[in-house]
Amino acid sequence: MSWTLYKNLITLAGRIGNTTRVTTTYDILSTDYTIFCNTDSSPYIVTLPAGVNGQEFKIINCGSNVLTIAPTGAELLRGANSSDTLIAGGVTTLTYETTEGWW
């Protein structure tokens, strides 16, 4: 029997989550799950997609500068329609809830 190793794929309760690596401003895709953000060159912004109830993203700042996380449109991020920052080495998991937004 042969096994195939799939890098960039993680199983999440029966579904596949994509691992993405970015080094500059990025619009997170609904198909992403874990996003590694290397901010060594400079700070930048990642923008969340329109939320779907129960959708989740794990965002990791693996660089040395600040990463800004921005909601899309009028959606809420941690209770406000404003950006949030993730310090160097920081990790956050955001889950979307229809009435509360991203938390």
CATH code for position 40:
2.60.120
Strand partners, 67: 44, 86
Domain extent, residue 30, equals 9-102
For the cut 50, the answer to whether the pLDDT of residue 7 exceeds it is: no
Q: What mean pLDDT do residues 40-50 have? A: 97
**Residue 60 domain-assigned (yes or no):** yes
For the cut 70, the answer to whether the pLDDT of residue 6 exceeds it is: no
**Residue 3 domain-assigned (yes or no):** no
pLDDT tens across 9-41, in order?
555 555 667 999 999 999 999 999 999 999 999
**Residue 4 domain-assigned (yes or no):** no
Determine whether 51 is exposed, middle or buried from the number of CB atoms within 10 Å of its CB (0-12, 13-18, 19+). buried
**Residue 2 domain-assigned (yes or no):** no
pLDDT tens across 69-87, in order?
999 999 999 999 999 999 9
**Residue 70 domain-assigned (yes or no):** yes
Rounded to 5°, angle at Cα 63 from 62 and 69: 80
Q: CB–CB of 57/93 below 8 Å? A: yes
pLDDT tens across 48-72, in order?
999 999 999 999 999 999 999 999 9
Rounded to 5°, angle at Cα 67 from 89 and 102: 100
What's the number of domains the chain is made of?
1
**Residue 1 domain-assigned (yes or no):** no
Rounded to 5°, angle at Cα 50 from 44 and 53: 125
